[in-house]
Each structure stands twice: as structure tokens, then as C-alpha cells.
Amino acid sequence: MRPAAILESALYVDDLDAAEAFYGGILGLERIAKDEGRHVFFRCGSGVVLLFDARVTEVPRAPGAGLPVPPHGAHGPGHLCFSASAAEIERWKTHLEAAGVTIEADFEWPQGGRSIYFRDPGGNSLEFAEPRIWGL
């Protein structure tokens, strides 16, 4: 047996409002769920990006206080890469820079394909890359 795809990816942020404004406003993702002070979730293609406040999700919920999801969290910058064509990457770079987002790296991989790297307001490393960097 082998998993068919990744359904959801999680990042941890300190400021959910800033994260919501960035992912919903600058990246244009559709918000699909929000639990004030705990998390905000966005649809991204056929998957979901989950943004959690780790200080809250690391603490087990009291019995009967919501779904029985085990505690989880991470500290320090995480990483997420969005799939984009070469033309889309160029448009994203222009869009991000116009929004005041610093592009930390922009390069061609030795095996082919381009990536750009930038940060969300929580310090997570984000990337737009051509799928061919992984032979896809």
C-alpha cells in the first residue's frame, strides 16, 4: 500500500490574523474554516493548507471540548512549496514584490526548473516551484 497524495499540509504561526491576511489576501487562497485563536484553513488546488497557533494546538482539549484530535505543534520556520509553471512563477514574483514581500532566492535548479522563495508573516519559508524540479 502507498498513499496516493497529500491531502493537507500544516504550518504553525504566532499571529493567525496576519497569516489569514497573507494567505487569503496576498496568495488569494480560499478560506474554508476558522476557529478564532486556534486555526485558519485554506483550500489550495486539491489540497488544504492548515495554519495553527502551536501554543494552542499543543495543549490537549478537555474531554467533550471539540473533536478528539491529538495535540500537535512545531516551533521555528516550516516550509511549504506551491506548484507553478515558469510563467506563473514570474507573475508570482512580480505580484509578491508589489505587495512588499521580499524574494529571498530565485534560481534554476541544476536538473531544470525554477524556484522562488519568500516568507509568510510568521517566518515560514514558502516556495513557488516548477514540478519538474522533482521530475513531475
pTM for this structure? Answer: 0.93
pLDDT of the residue at 114: 98
Residue ranges and CATH numbers for the domains of the chain are 1-60 (3.10.180.10), 77-136 (3.10.180.10)
3-state secondary structure the chain: CCCCCCCEEEEECCCHHHHHHHHHHHCCCEEEEEECCCEEEEEECCEEEEEECHHHHCCCCCCCCCCCCCCCCCCCCCEEEEECCHHHHHHHHHHHHHCCCCCCEEEECCCCCEEEEEECCCCCEEEEECHHHHCC
Per-residue pLDDT of the chain (136 residues; tens, 9 = 90+): 998 999 999 999 999 999 999 999 999 999 999 999 999 999 999 999 999 998 999 888 777 777 778 888 898 999 999 999 999 999 999 999 999 999 999 999 999 999 999 999 999 999 999 999 999 9
